[in-house]
Amino acid sequence: MKLTERVYLCGSGAFGISPDGDCHCYVIAAIDELILIDCGLSPDPSEILCNIKRDGLDPKKLKYLLLTHAHPDHANACAWFRASTGVRIWASEYEAGVLENGLLETVGLETDNDPGLEQFRRMNRLRADGVLCDGETLNIGDLTVTALLTPGHTHGSMCFEVEINGKKMLFAGDEVFYNGFISVLAPPLSDYANYRRGLARLCGRGIDGLFPSHLMWTLRGGQKHIDKAMRNFTERQRPDLKLYS
Ligand SMILES: [Fe+2]
């Protein structure tokens, strides 16, 4: 589903275009190469590939899978995508570790009896192809993607900024949502102590399109939603929490 020039929604359980539980998955179309932002929960995400084809894009051009973080609804389909398309998977160092070793093991949680964490236990594991540092840029086709390390929702969350025809698009994962909502999980799964620092990385950037991994996106004025989230920390000292996907 084309959202705006070069930006497509190719997966989303909430919008009913891929299996339940999938986060919003986006494709950015550079010349001759496609970038997938997150890939969903389903172990068989072929519907996402069908959506990419339906939008007139060539899945053979899928070269980069950039993970905002390694939660199952964003990353469980990584193995399928790499095996099916040859896409290379990139994440922050922390999230690459989660992908390889498991979230519960990484944060040191023993939760044998907690059914709410079962999806983390069952998550497919694999080694990322590349690790991204804060501020690192990837030149992909005619586009430049900047990786921004934004701890908060998770310890290693990243947002990805790309300028398309003079407009700044931000793929924000679960770090910040439309209307300034943020997503804090029970400790130690989130990094609440550093959430403000993570949001500060997104302030003053003049973001136009804000594309989070859940809820609504916007094509213009994205910065004001980020700024609202920050104001909730600095002025109200009470964030608005996103309670559902
Ligand atoms: Fe998440």
Q: Ligand 1 centroid vs 51 CA: distance in angstroms?
A: 23
Q: Ligand 1 centroid vs 220 CA: distance in angstroms?
A: 24
- Domain presence at residue 100: yes
Q: Ligand 1 centroid vs 69 CA: distance in angstroms?
A: 7
Return the DSSP state at 141: T
Q: Please give the tally of structural domains in the chain.
A: 1
Q: Ligand 1 centroid vs 129 CA: distance in angstroms?
A: 21
> pLDDT tens for residues 24-47?
999 999 999 999 999 999 988 999
- Domain presence at residue 66: yes
Averaged pLDDT of the chain: 95
> Is the per-residue pLDDT at 244 higher than 60?
no
The secondary structure element, H or E, covering residue 99 is: helix 93-101
Predicted local confidence at residue 141, as pLDDT: 95
Max distance between CA atoms of the chain, in angstroms, equals 51
Query: Which one has a higher pLDDT value, 140 or 114?
Result: 140
> pLDDT tens for residues 153-194?
999 999 999 999 999 999 999 999 999 999 999 889 999 999
- Domain of 23, in residue numbers: 2-236
Beta-carbon contacts of 48 under 8 Å, excluding residues fewer than 6 positions away, are 10, 11, 18, 22, 25, 39, 40, 77
- Domain presence at residue 245: no
Q: Ligand 1 centroid vs 153 CA: distance in angstroms?
A: 7
* Predicted TM-score (pTM) of this structure: 0.96
**How confident is the model over 97-120, as a mean pLDDT?**
88
- Domain presence at residue 243: no
Write the CA distances from 148 to 12, 45, 205, integer angstroms: 23, 27, 11
- Domain presence at residue 241: no
Is residue 94 very low, low, confident or very high in pLDDT (cuts 50, 70, 90)?
Answer: very high
| Domain CATH number, residue 121 | 3.60.15.10
- Domain presence at residue 244: no
**How confident is the model over 53-69, as a mean pLDDT?**
97
